[in-house]
Amino acid sequence: MKRENQSSMSEFLLLGLPIWPEQQGVFFSLFLDMHLTTVLGNLLIVLLIRLDARLHTSMYFFLSHLALTDVSFSSVTVPKMLINMQTQDQSIPYAGCITQMYFFLFFTGLDDFLLTSMAYDQYMAICHPLHYSTIMGQGLCTLLVTVSWILSCANALCHTLLLTRLMGKPSRVNQTTLSDFLLLGISEQPEEQTLLFVIFLGMYLVTVMGNLLIILAITSDPHLHTPMYFFLANLSITDACFTSASIPKLLINMHTQSQTISYSGCFAQLYFLLVFGGLDNLLLAVMAYDRYVAICQPLHYSTAMSPQLCALMLSICWVLTNCPALTHTLLLTRVAFCAHKAIPHFYCDPSALLKLACSDTRINELMIIIMGLMFLTAPLLLIVLSYVRISWAVFGISSPGGRWKAFSTCGSHLTVVLLFYGSLMGVYLLPPSTHSAERESRAAILYMVIIPMLNPFIYSLRNKDMNEALSKLFGSGKTISLP
């Protein structure tokens, strides 16, 4: 579709409500009061649920998330409307409109999914009261909320990316309109495709099955309903989703001998890689903090790492990853790409995409640096600080057996941290002059495929609690580890 005669859109006009100018003050006060009542009322519900131990049940767990969703949903549109009323300005920038639309769709979908989860909770409470406490445990409730977030994100992102293709974009005079990109993959040798397909399919299946087994073992065993395993279950979900964002497309391209990925598909893949990659980093940092509290402040552990605080930390991790990932993705949709569309990777890498740009990319490059600081540097500093404090506390233990027992609770997490951050820093923190497409692809295979595959093995080997949970899961009396 040609765009030579189209104007470049930088903003839209929100016409607002059909009211006279002299009525603006009255309606401003009315909507401000309603918005403040909505925010304060829902926040009060969240606070009461958190403070009262009697309300720490499945029903009120979902209600607290619904209250937070309602606050966010109201805050997506009403503040902008109030600002426009007060300033008599009807404009909203292009990026602001797209962002508002995404979060409107996201919180609308999340509201619907949470209401559905609450209906299921009430069904179990009334129709299966004897099994209610077993079925509606903390693990299942957290899983339902997590799935609601993921489905809402996916729906809102797909709709938003499709609309950005129709809405006003920068003029692309004398440029070829791109409908897809080419993912050059891992090897361009046709005779190697079958072997690589089998290898990566095997690794992908092991990754998904291994992480699902970890999740099932944790949710099915009440002994593992602790903060450490709560975050481990979420890390397993994140690893499975992180791998699933890129490997299925790689396998399809290998099987069909095709290298194409659609424009919308590329940006959707990029968004989910940023979300789950960032979430992986933040969860590793939160798990390090959990180990710090368990070892350095054992008497206050149950209070400091309460279920409500764990759920709050998980929610904050989701928000912190979604907002920058969405911003980065939307900024990339504003970039004009040249006719050359080959990406020397097996996934849509943001740095590789910017090399195909024909427009100014300084803001996008700045966003990459900001996200690197948020999802690499800051979590790594928190992890290092936690382990410095842990080491200081452990070396203060006089008994060698006590020191070994304390360190053994951190061994699996520390191994994953070293593998994950070592590969990431090898790609993104070395000078650009040392980078090459082949080297970056190999490093990407390490942290996107191999490490998520190894995590279930690392966390199950020599972990007595996990082995016992897996034994119960398979109905065996033996102690096992993941195959």
pLDDT digits (tens, 9 = 90+) for 115-141: 999 999 999 889 988 888 888 887 788
State residue 2's pLDDT score. Answer: 41
Pairing of strands 180-183, 342-343: parallel
The token pair at 450 is 């191999």
**114 touches 148 (CB < 8 A):** yes
Mean pLDDT, the chain, whole residue set = 80
pLDDT digits (tens, 9 = 90+) for 79-105: 888 887 777 777 887 777 878 888 888
State residue 279's pLDDT score. Answer: 92
State residue 202's pLDDT score. Answer: 93
Q: Give residue for tokens 């990925």.
A: 261
**283 touches 325 (CB < 8 A):** no
State residue 7's pLDDT score. Answer: 46
HEC-encoded secondary structure of 70-114: HHHHHHHHHHHHHHHHHHCCCEEEHHHHHHHHHHHHHHHHHHHHH
Extents of the domains making up the chain: 8-145, 176-483
CA distances, 231 to each of 84, 270, 352 (Å): 42, 24, 32
Record: fold of 8-145: Rhopdopsin 7-helix transmembrane proteins (1.20.1070)
Assess whether the region 8-145 and the region 176-483 belong to the same CATH fold.
yes
DSSP H or E stretch at residue 223: none
Cα–Cα distance, 277 to 405 (Å, whole number): 31
Which neighbouring-strand residues pair with 181? 261
Residue 433 has pLDDT above 60, yes or no: no
For the chain, the first-to-last Cα distance in angstroms comes to 53
State residue 181's pLDDT score. Answer: 81
Determine whether domain 176-483 maps to CATH 2.60.40.10: no
Reported as half-sphere exposure (CB side, CA atoms, 13 A), residue 158 has a value of: 8
pLDDT digits (tens, 9 = 90+) for 219-248: 888 888 889 889 999 999 999 999 999 899
pLDDT digits (tens, 9 = 90+) for 23-80: 777 777 887 888 888 889 988 988 888 888 888 888 888 998 899 898 888 888 888 8
Residue 146 has pLDDT above 50, yes or no: yes
State residue 166's pLDDT score. Answer: 64
pLDDT digits (tens, 9 = 90+) for 173-183: 444 455 678 78
Q: Work out the average pLDDT over 250-272.
A: 85
State residue 426's pLDDT score. Answer: 65
The token pair at 16 is 């607002």
More confidently predicted of 10 and 283: 283
Q: Work out the average pLDDT over 151-176.
A: 64
